[in-house]
Structure 1
Amino acid sequence: TDIDHYRAPANAIEEILAGIYAQVLGLDRVSVDDSFFELGGDSLSAMRVVAAINRALDTHLAVRTLFHAPSVRSLSEQLESADSGVELVPVEIFKEGTGVPLCCIHEGNGQSYAYRGLREYLECPIIGINQIPQDGEVTPRSIRDMAKNYADRIQAIYPEGPYNLLGWSFGGPVAHEIAVELRRRGCTVNNLIMLDPVLSADGPGETVEDENPAEDRLLNLFLRSSGIDVSEESERLTYRRAEELIRQQGQVVEFVLPPKPIFEFAVYNHNTNLSYLREHVPDVFDGDMVVFSATRGEIVNNPQDWRPYVSGDLTVHSVDCGHDEMTSDEAIRMYVEQLKLSLEA
């Protein structure tokens, strides 16, 4: 940031927050007006920043608050407000606006934060559906049950339709099932769009024998994105082992891992969702579907496998990124123009 633009912290709280932003993002200093995400933050580092702030200030700030108040200045004002501690809400409003809403369905860990980056590029309202029960909902036992609950939530906010649905990874089959459910209710689904959707539970290295594949997979993601080498690890990673590795490499645990309760919630969802996926046979959606397919790394999700479950056209666009990078700003920039065209179609 140039000198003209830099705004120094105005008080002790802002100073602490700016210091934590800088440390997590690997920057020398941070202007109090700069958005955490424009400085290079993503949903993984958002968890770290909030964990570090809560520890430093003994607060109960929720990760979601950072998405609504991404600068040091706006976040310091949120520290006063009562609802900033509510970690996950059933429906997250990412962007208000007019036009057909884009309803984004959580991925395997149950959270829809990953879609936040779309705000910068799309004009329409954007909502995220999180895997947390809403009052009065029946506890789901399958993807089909989830789809009924989520269709209810979407219709509660937008009773009229039409609807645009977007799902990344595990969110793909759920979005597809919601599309089927909304059509069953006589609603119009303009677009069903998937970002590298999974179709079966046979993802990379996820075998039925492994009693907790999610813990290992999620810890790997966090450690790798912090530049911590886990290639030598012969054992399955646990939270405690990950903490050891982080300390061995001279890093601070809070800057790498989310707080244990949030992490355990993500692991629980991931494992539950894997079991749902194993049982799931999709219905046929009577419309068109667009898939943005990740082409880097291990390709486990062949988009053509969805052919039998769509009565209309199946259009596939390749994106030069890995499965886990699909909602990073870098990847979004690669396909967002095509996404806009799909939404306008």
Structure 2
Amino acid sequence: MTVISDLSQFSFVDIADRAPRASSTVLSIRAGGTRSPVFCIHSIDGRAGRYAALAAHIDGDRPVYGVETSASVPRASSVSALAERYADDILAVRGNGPINLLGVSFGGLLAHAVAVALQLRGIAVSSLALLGSSPVQPPRADEPADELLAGIGEDVDRSRAEELVALATDHQELAKQHFPGVYRGKALVVSTVGSDAGAAWHAFVSGTVSKYEVPDASAFGLVGPLVNRHL
């Protein structure tokens, strides 16, 4: 396992989140490029705009998309059902693959489920990146609503924030009930120092698992170069 502690060599990009659309959808963060695209799965509150900051660190010839949702979308019965829905959305954009999948925290758990769903359909998944994510302990499983609200940011109005908290609460419950399948291929697992989940993912990945520990697995300025080398 590689531990990275020096952040000075990396530049950080701060790009504001975009609000999700009215339904499960694929947000084009950077559509141009000829190489296999990266689909970034939304965080626990349903938003994918944060991945615009990650795109700055990924090869410019590789398209980058975000998969996001909103409270107006019918509730999924499970993480696996949600993954099947997103597999449909991704294939509507990409067709027959190959693709790359990525997610932070809850988004990583969901990205893994999407990868499994796509592979069961015979779609090639070139790589999977799991950032600050665990297969066995749902991220923020016991986080109260006020802490979730504090993490959403001041740029979101109160009514919108309540919708995001509702989505996060629903996703928490789905995560608690989820038992991952097995993804077949290479995976990148980046964990925050002190909370390594790399070993836990081995049971759910049939292939090479590259593990790193960093001060903050959600800091795209730090993990972006790792992701780019992994793709």
- Asked if these proteins are the same fold (TM beyond 0.5), I'd say yes
Give the SS at the match of 1:292: strand
Instruction: State yes or no: 1:320 paired with 2:215.
Output: yes
Residue 32 of structure 2 corresponds to 97
Query: TM-score scaled by structure 2?
Result: 0.83
1:203 Cα shift?
4.7
Which 5+ residue runs of structure 2 have no aligned equivalent? 1-10
Q: Secondary structure at the match of 1:187?
A: coil
Structure 2 residue 186 is matched with structure 1 residue 288:
yes
Q: Which residue of 2 aligns with 1:258?
A: 156
Change (3 A) 1:130 1:222: closer
1:163 aligns with 2:99: yes
In structure 2, distance between residues paired with 1:197 and 1:157? 26
User: Per the alignment, do residues 186 and 87 of structure 1 end up closer, same or farther by CA in structure 2, a change over 3 Å counting?
Assistant: closer
Which residue matches 1:311?
Answer: 206
Is 1:333 matched with 2:221? yes
Shift of 1:127: 0.6
* Alignment correspondent of 1:173: 109
Call closer, same or farther: CA 1:258–1:188 in 2, change over 3 Å.
Answer: same
Kept in 2, the 8 Å contact 1:196–1:303? The answer is: no
Shift of 1:119: 2.6
The two structures, once aligned, show a CA RMSD in angstroms of 2.7
Residue type of the alignment partner of 1:114 = R
1:333 deviates by 2.7
Alignment partners' CA distance in 1, 2:46 and 2:152: 16
In structure 1, what is the equivalent of residue 6 of structure 2? none
Report 1:274-285 matches (<5 A).
274-285=172-183
Counterpart residue number, 2:132: 196
> What does residue 65 of structure 2 align with?
127
1:39 & 1:197 partners in 2: Cα distance? 21
Structure 1 segments unaligned to the other structure (5+ residues): 1-37, 47-62, 66-85, 208-212, 224-255
- Per the alignment, residue 197 of structure 2 pairs with 302
| Distance change >3 Å, CA 290–CA 267, structure 1 → 2 | same
Find the aligned partners of 2:75 and 2:171 in 1 and give their Cα distance.
Answer: 13
Deviation at 1:337, TM superposition (A): 2.5
Greater percentage in strand: 2
Instruction: State, as a whole percentage, how many aligned pairs show the same letter.
Output: 26
Matched positions, count = 218
Paired residues of 1:151 and 1:182 also in contact (CA < 8 A): yes
Shift of 1:288: 2.0
> Which position in structure 2 is the counterpart of 1:219?
149
Deviations 1:107-158 (A, max 9, x none): 1111111111123222111110012389xx8741110001100000000011
How far apart are residue 220 of structure 1 and its match?
3.4
Report Cα offsets for 1:19-55 as digits up to 9, x if no partner: xxxxxxxxxxxxxxxxxxx997543xx6xxxxxxxxx
Cα offset, 1:202, TM superposition: 5.5
Higher RCO, Cα 8 Å, sep 6+: 2
The one-letter code matched in structure 2 to 1:274 is Q
Other-structure match for 1:233: none
Is the contact made by 2:19 and 2:47 (CA closer than 8 Å) also made in structure 1? no
Aligned to 1:109: 45
Per-residue CA distance 1:205-250 (angstroms, 9 max, x = gap): x44xxxxx44222233357xxxxxxxxxxxxxxxxxxxxxxxxxxx
